[in-house]
Structure 1
Amino acid sequence: MNALPINEVLPELVNTLRKETNAVLVAAPGAGKTTRVPLALRDEAWLHNRRIVMLVPRRLAARQAAAYMAALLGEEVGQTVGYRVKRESRVGPGTRIEVITEGILTRMLQDDPELSDVGLVIFDEFHERNLHADLGLALSLQAQGLFREDLRILVMSATLDAEPVSALLGNAPVISSKGRMFPVETHFLTSPMEGRLEEAVVQMIFHALRQEEGDMLVFLPGAREIHRVQELLEQSGVGSNIRIAPLCGNLPQEEQDKAIQPGKTGERKIVLATTIAETSLTVEGVRIVIDSGLKRVPRFSPRTGMTRLETAKVSKASADQRRGRAGRLAPGVCFRLWTEQEDRMLIPQQAPEIMEADLAVLALELALWGVGAAEELDWLNPPPKPAMAQAQELLLQLGAFDERKQITPHGRVLAGMGVHPRLGHMIQKANELGEGELACELAVLLEERDIVRGRQASADADMRTRVEMLRQVANKQSGAGELPIDAGACKRLWKEAAHFKRIWINNKPGDTSARTEATGRLLAFAYPDRIAQRRADGRYLLRNGRGAAFSVQQPLAASPYIVAAELDDQGADSRILLAASVEESELLNDCAMQITERMNVWWERTAGAVRSRKQKRLGSILLADIAAEASPDEVLTALLDGIKEEGLEILPWNRQARQYRERLLFMHRLEEGWPNVEDEALLVSLEEWLAPHVYGFKRKEDLQSLSVTTLLESMLSWEQRRQLDEYAPTHVIVPSGSKIPVDYSDPAAPVLSVRLQELFGWQDSPRIGRGRVALTLHLLSPAHRPVQVTRDLASFWAHAYFEVKKDLKGRYPKHYWPDDPLAAIPTNRTRPRI
């Protein structure tokens, strides 16, 4: 074996794991940790002939690492060293080291929580903080604590703050290797990049070809930019000795392998890559790196339940990883398409995927593991609660969870399928309908980026079109249409669809020209939260209440109902990128358990009546709204709500009722225990004093039959009714014999309005409320005009009467104005009868 920097710390690592169950290894890029550490540990006694399992972030890196270690042993892959990645496995009965991608470990733990045939789990390139790496580590730690004290866990990384990981692993020892890195000369732009990214990259490629030697690795955000740069290079006549090699995750394995293999003699290679080449992977011959500084990252929005791919700037750590690709085997050079000032603005590390991803898979795996809440496990970063709540709601809609958030038998099936729960649910339901083949084709299309390239994709967002294109390309048929499609991707996806059909469909795959009419129905199984109803203005209302719209007019935009498989989640109305129409009858049948029926009963103010309609809703979508007879209780509630809205004046108040209410208000102020009949209190307590008397009423006219006085009287006890007439009389008999009504409109100061002459001989003001409240006297002239207000009649006779007498005698000379009012005869006439 070649001498590598990691060799210097291997003895320390070996001794540490003999004494400790957990360890952290930090080794710089190129140190050799991925391939040398498993080989150094494979014969340790504490393994007890169990396997070493090493997780790496990507399939290509897993295959390459396994192949390199097997070559070092002089063996074929699948003997001592093997690998298992998604839909591909090369292991044998003698395999001792197994390189896997992260989702594989989750399945292993779920199938065997003790990991009974595994002695060591290695998490390689853990700094990438992929969702399954965090989940795998959390589950491994619990398995270690509950079942396997002897299970070793080793976390390895090139750029990682080791202390938090060490603490998570129980203060595990940290071992560091400096690594070996040849010098890399770094160049920045002198001013911020202008124009299209692809054109700037091509310009930099030609500059680097002229100035530098060796092969070139160009980092681009995604497949779209890779394709465009390749086209521009080919159009520019890059040279016959130059081989352009795309390298991204959705390429066939043979094309990926060609990209990382050494070039032929006299040939220079330009590898156009995504983040797939950032870590773990050695691309032979690379001396030049051109870094766009951008990457495509998924962003999940708990607010909308949607994930969108965003083009974002790389972190400082990622930029350093990319530059290091040029110095793995010899001195190199790195051209960065940003300025030194922009470089200082880069964030140190990318946020862990668990903080920004769709957590449906995580929530399902935790439920399968038997964890009621994520907090029961140890995490480097706990999953965000809003995203977890969103994931649990989706799993409930898919039938993977019950109402208690416990996994269902259907959920257990979905967890074992190895695809997103949305797609697994779609395939399972499609099998029941005899549409399994179509579901598998949809699944592979939905797992990858759109097979229609560029802006033309928005011109026809119909998923049925994609299925037809996939079948036509796979069967070498013409008529794929005018849209530019990725034929290579179609062929690869067709193979994956065939794999899905073999393992998930019981019946033999039929004719590839099968119908596509069920596309929307199947998408509704996968995306129940993205079922949408067309509005009057042509936009759509999603089940979750959000808006959506097509960016350009197309036949699909006339469909009353659609299922949006992909949205951009931008602005008030998300742009619909992929969708299919679905029939209302299909929604009523397939979503029957999720459709809510509600009797909508309300007070219609303009009609002055209770109205009722029965509504069927699927989330925010109104499926049906028909007139229906509500129950008497529902009508009563709506009527009372209407009275609260209209106010108490809707009731038939007459003079008697108003006076009765005013008397009650007076008594409420006077003594405890009397009901409060102010507006606010009456409106709050309608259910108590009014509801029993309006049961069966629907209209404002019905209320006119009520006696408000009787209603108010019903609020009193028998004793209070008796006391009301005694303490708050309706009238007072004055000395003239007249029966004068008491005005209680001001409960704090009831008023008796009476002509002055009728009070002659009355020495003091009359009192009510068992003598506690003196009536306020409004003394009137013979013409019933007020002349004096007093609560102290005795004082009035003694002081103010004589001045008032002079004025009244002058204006009313025929009337009786005695000098001594206390000895005079009271009268309600001009002069008293003698």
Structure 2
Amino acid sequence: MTELPIARVLPDVKQALNHSASAVLIAEPGAGKTTETPLALLDEPWLKGLKILMLEPRRLAARSAAVYMAGRLGEKAGETVGYRMRLDTRSGPKTRIEVVTEGVLTRMLQSDPGLEGVGLIIFDEFHERSLHADLGLALALEAQSVLRDDLRLLVMSATLDGERVAGLLGGAPVITCPGRTFPVETVYVAAGRELAPEKAAANAVRRALGEQPGDVLVFLPGEREIHRLRRELETGPLPAGTDVYPLYGQLRQEEQLAAVAPAAAGRRKVVLATSIAETSLTIQGVRGVVDTGLRRTQVFSPRTGMPRLVTLPVSRASADQRRGRAGRTAPGVCYRLWSEEEHARLKDASEPEIREADLAELALELAVWGVRDAAELRWLDAPPAAPLAQAGELLRRLGALDAAGGATPHGRRMAALGTHPRMAHMLLRAAELGAAPLACRLAALLQERDLLRGPAAAGAGSDLTLRAEALLRRDAAGWAAGGEDTAPLRAAERTARRLEAQLRAAAGDLPPQKRQEDPALSGLLLSFAYPDRIGQRRGEGAFLLSGGRGAAMNEGQPLARSPYVVAVAVDDQGTQSRIQLAAAVSEADLLEHHAGELREVREVYWDRQTASVRARRRVLLGELVLKEATHEQPTAEETSRALLEAISGERLEVLPWDKATTQLRERMAFMARHVPDWPDMSPEALLSGMEEWLLPYLDGMRSLRDLQRVPLRQALEGRLDWQQRQRLDREAPTHLTVPSGSRVPVDYSDPEAPVLAVRLQEMFGQQDTPRLAEGRVPVVLHLLSPARRPVQVTSDLASFWASAYFEIKKDLKGRYPKHYWPDDPTEAVATSRVKPRL
């Protein structure tokens, strides 16, 4: 057997782990790190009597690595080398190397934080930065520092900032190993973006088969695209002897193994894969790679608390990983369905899942571990605060956390199930109701958003209950009829059975499941998983969700007219969420089975329709009003306070503001602006102080009509003491007496510049501008013609008399020749008539 590149650095790895508790191994694709490193370390003295746990991010890679290593020892998996994943274990008492998937490692750490009997944990393909890998490393570091200083940790990756990880591990040594890859030519097919993805990929596959020997590996974002491309390839000619295999996570084990096995003699194969084939797996015989450059991932939205499934461009690091698949065993070609310019704009690396994902599962695991603050652990990237806080709120609502943030017994049972907390809570509640099999099927249907899209879900629209019925009908009829249309249903049924086994393992014997085949229970069961997405109809297709957000579904389907639904798949883009999958639920079920979450609230409020104070009792589920009664009478105190809220909402405008009262408020505001230690009379101050100055006058009132009887002037004057009232009349009088003897009202609507509008002739003899507020503020004189039309605005009367008056006099004398227009206005007699009486 040809020596793999990893063999040259294995002595360095052994040396590092002999002298250090941790190490980092950076080995390029093809180096052999996954299968050679654990075997090489097995006989190290510090591992005597202890086993190696190796974490693999993907089930297929874990199983393949274990089977390959066991074969190297001349054994079958389950002897010296085994694997452990949920509901699929090949491990025995003699097992020394155990390859585990991420969720299994978390469960092992939670059940035995000291990991007795384990000497080394290997984190393989750590560059994928999955949520469970980050969590597993954080928990392992805690166990190492607190409980097991002899526990070794080895982080392995193909592309990773090794020094950064080494720093997290306390300055661990970094070993680097080149890979064994053959030259790979890169061909950019820019036209791939102009066609439908399956057509562009089909063209590239045919080109690869025509130009290159060997097999072809195609990278697609998801299962839906794999099936579309498979149909596209089957409709057109492929070279004779070519077989097409799908490869994705939900595929049956035997089909996955067929996809990665070498092609039969004389035949070629095309493997249509998701990113499952990006790392760890070597598919023998691949000489051509067709890369769509897309990946599908869930991105969590802190704005709404909802995750959404999105299709994104891959990073340059991922594109290079995919490209390298063509050069693992011989020279090859990679066909990229994008341009070189687009490639230059790709991100260097994908965002770690911990920054984008729903953190509910992480938050629950931390609580079970006993951590109240994530900062207590060491992270390569700490969980973002806002999504983590929202996850904690959801867990409290599901009954998984207590008020202090600790895990409840129910929360521990949820964590033991190893599935998302929403699904775990639904499964446990369903088991109590005798409906666990239906709940498992519902959970399976939600594993992939569009699982039953197409012929299997014809006419189902957004209704998940109809999908559950289709699954139950097919299960009852048997699967012998088969056919491609049943493939998604088969996948859902396999997942459901796996969930049932997990539930039995975590919860023990289930009570009799008497209601397992009643799809009408779907909405109720889903309401346990999504208590924040129970929707109340408020129009055709429009719903208010219990979490407070609005959502809508396409009109015209029966579900859109349901009084209540549970929105289980929601696209939160835009101002209003779009409901993609939902199920109807009855009000009676909500009242009965969510009784512990209901709040009864008595409200006294201002009813705008009747313009009066009313009282009501409401039964609330989140933000939804399930029941309401309005026959009660509010108390006098409740009525007065409701009136204050109504007045505040209308910004005081509902009060009886006559001309005199309005002027009083403006005079008081004027004084507050210019005189120290004067009460603030701004609208904001009046609103905030209503309890003090207005509340005493609201006794016995309850409607808008009653408010018109409020003695508003008296209430405002009540804010001033006797001296302030005297001062107000003196420094901000309602009227000023002008030289003609007339009392002219002052306009205080602008507190910076009070206005006196007076006929010019009535100001003759006045030398200077009148002043207010202890002489601080001159009035703005609006000087009027005899017909009371403005002729001049000034706040400097002396300057006006000395200059502008004479120009204005000429004009006025021409228009009003009978009136008195003296040459010296400062010495003339003021008059309110045509001419003064001498």
Alignment TM class, shorter chain as reference: 0.7 to 0.9
Which residue of the partner structure matches residue 126 of structure 2?
126
CA contact (8 A) 1:189 1:340 kept: no
Q: Residue 542 of structure 1 aligns with which residue?
A: 545
Cα deviation 1:564-619 (Å, max 9, x = unaligned) = 22123343444333211001122223333434444454445675533444444433
Question: What CA distance in whole angstroms lies between the structure 1 residues aligned with 2:387 and 2:594?
Answer: 24
Aligned to 2:463: 462
Q: Paired residue for 1:689?
A: 693
Output the amino acid matched with 2:472: R
Q: How much does 1:456 deviate?
A: 7.4
Unmatched tracts of structure 2, length 5 or more: 737-741, 759-770, 778-796, 798-823
| Deviates most, 343-352 or 543-552 | 543-552
Q: Relative to 1, partners in 2 of residues 1:409 and 1:573: Cα closer, same or farther, differing over 3 Å?
A: same
Aligned to 1:519: 522
Contact 2:444/2:493 (8 A) holds in 1: no
Alpha-carbon distance between aligned partners in 2 of 1:655 and 1:235, rounded to the nearest angstrom? 85
Counting only pairs closer than 5 Å after superposition, residues 215-254 of structure 1 correspond to structure 2 as: 215-236=215-236, 238=238, 241-254=241-254
What does residue 779 of structure 1 align with? none
Query: Whole-Å Cα distance in 1 between the matches of residues 776 and 337 of structure 2?
Result: 93
- Is the contact made by 2:55 and 2:122 (CA closer than 8 Å) also made in structure 1? yes
Counterpart among 619, 629, 633 of residue 629 in structure 1: 633
C-alpha offsets along residues 31-87 of structure 1, whole Å, 9 cap, x if unaligned? 111111111111222224221111011011101111111111112211111111122
Q: Residue in 2 aligned with 1:578?
A: 581
Q: Deviations over 1:488-514 (max 9, x none)?
A: 424523532552464347347768982
**AA at the equivalent of 2:166:** S
CA distance in 1, matches of 2:466, 2:573: 25
How many pairs were matched up? 801
Q: 1:153-206 CA distances to partner (integer Å, 9 max, x unpaired)?
A: 111011112121111111211101112112223333264443222223223323
**What does residue 762 of structure 2 align with?**
none
Code of the aligned partner of 1:686: M
How much does 1:130 deviate? 0.7
Structure-2 separation of matches of 1:199 and 1:296 = 19
Q: Which residue of 2 aligns with 1:787?
A: none
Aligned to 1:471: 472
> Is 1:84 the equivalent of 2:80?
no
User: Which of 1 and 2 has greater Rg?
Assistant: 1
Query: 1:452 corresponds to which residue?
Result: 452
How far 1:529 moved relative to its partner? 1.9
Query: Alpha-carbon deviation of 1:99?
Result: 0.5
Shift of 1:625: 4.3
- Map of 1:499 onto structure 2: 501
Question: Structure 2-normalised TM-score?
Answer: 0.83
Relative to structure 1, the CA distance from residue 639 to residue 122 in structure 2 (aligned partners, 3 Å threshold; closer, same or farther) is: same
Counterparts of 1:216-615 in structure 2, within 5 Å, are 216-236=216-236, 238=238, 241-454=241-454, 457=457, 459-460=459-460, 461-477=462-478, 484-486=485-487, 487-500=489-502, 502-503=504-505, 504=507, 506-507=509-510, 514-551=517-554, 553-603=556-606, 608-615=611-618
Indicate how the Cα distance of structure 1 residues 577 and 653 shifts in structure 2: closer, same or farther if over 3 A, else same. Answer: closer
CA distance in 2, matches of 1:560, 1:160: 52
CA contact (8 A) 1:548 1:575 kept: yes
Say if 2:619 and 2:628, in contact at 8 Å, map to a contact too.
Answer: yes
Aligned-partner Cα distance in 1 for 2:294–2:831: 102
Note closer, same or farther for the CA distance 1:79–1:800 as it changes in structure 2 (3 Å cut).
closer
Distance, in Å, in 1 between the alignment partners of 2:369 and 2:754 is 75
> 1:56: which partner in 2?
56
Partner of 2:792: none
**Deviation (angstroms), 1:324:** 1.8
Quote the sequence identity (%).
51
Q: Which letter maps to 2:498?
A: E
Once residues 343 and 827 of structure 2 are traced to their aligned partners in structure 1, the CA distance between those partners, rounded to angstroms, is: 100
CA separation of 1:65/1:717 partners in 2, compared to 1, >3 Å: closer, same or farther?
same
Deviation track 1:618-668 (CA, whole Å, cap 9, x = no partner) reads: 334343444243343332222123444567686668999899989988998
Residue range with higher mean Cα deviation, 332-341 or 422-431: 332-341
Q: Are 1:473 and 1:491, in contact at CA under 8 Å, matched by a contact in 2?
A: no
Q: Which digits, 9 at most, give the CA deviation of each residue in 1:321-353, with x for residues without a partner?
A: 122222222233333333333333332211111
Gaps of 5+ in 1: 733-739, 754-766, 774-790, 792-798, 818-834
User: 1:796: which partner in 2?
Assistant: none
Which stretch of the first structure deviates more once superposed, 236-245 or 383-392?
236-245
Question: The residue matched to 2:539 in structure 1 has which SS?
Answer: coil
Determine the structure 1 residue equivalent to 2:790. none
Change (3 A) 1:294 1:689: closer
Distance 1:608 1:306, change over 3 A: closer
Distance 1:339 1:662 in 2: 69
Task: State which drifts further: 469-478 or 707-716.
Answer: 707-716
State the distance in 2 between where 1:32 and 1:644 align.
Answer: 73
Does the aligned pair in 2 maintain the 1:250–1:448 contact within 8 Å? no
Task: Supply the AA of the counterpart residue of 1:401.
Answer: L
Change (3 A) 1:557 1:645: closer
The CA RMSD over aligned residues, in Å, is 4.8
One-letter code aligned to 2:170? G
CA gap of 1:338–1:674, structure 2 versus 1, over 3 A, is closer
- For residues 557 and 132 of structure 1, do their structure 2 counterparts lie closer, same or farther at Cα, with a shift above 3 Å needed? same
What is aligned with 2:116?
Answer: 116
Separation in 1 of the partners of 2:131 and 2:7?
Answer: 30
User: CA shift at 1:741, angstroms?
Assistant: 10
Which stretch of structure 1 is more off in the superposition, 149-158 or 261-270? Answer: 261-270
Structure 1 residues 64 and 337: alpha-carbon distance in aligned structure 2, compared to 1, 3 A threshold = same
Is the deviation greater in 669-678 or in 492-501?
669-678
Distance 2:673 2:314 in 1: 73
Equivalences for residues 768-779 of structure 1 within 5 A: none
For residues 679-710 of structure 1, the C-alpha deviation after alignment (integer angstroms, 9 at most, x for no partner) is 66544422112213323421344456655566
Deviation sequence 1:460-481 (CA, Å, 0-9, x none): 1322222222223333359999
The verdict on how the C-alpha distance between 1:545 and 1:717 changes in structure 2, with shifts beyond 3 A counting, is closer
* TM alignment of 1:661-700, pairs within 5 A: 681-700=685-704
2:175 alignment partner, SS class: strand
Tell me the amino acid that sits aligned with residue 533 of structure 1: Q
Residues 631 and 360 (structure 1), Cα distance of their counterparts in 2 relative to 1, 3 Å cut: farther
- TM-score normalised to structure 1 length: 0.83
Distance in 2 between residues matched to 1:41 and 1:481, nearest whole Å:
47
Name the structure 2 match of 1:827.
none
Which shifted more, 260-269 or 336-345?
A: 336-345
CA distance in 2, matches of 1:712, 1:188: 79
Q: Which residue of 1 aligns with 2:764?
A: none
**CA gap 1:539/1:723 in 2 versus in 1, 3 angstroms:** closer
Is the contact between residue 226 and residue 246 of structure 2 (CA under 8 Å) also seen in structure 1? Answer: yes
Contact residue 82 and residue 98 of structure 2 kept, 8 A: yes
Q: Equivalents in 2 of 1:183, 1:802: separation in Å?
A: 108
> Helix, strand or coil: the match of 1:122?
strand
- Residue 185 of structure 1 corresponds to 185
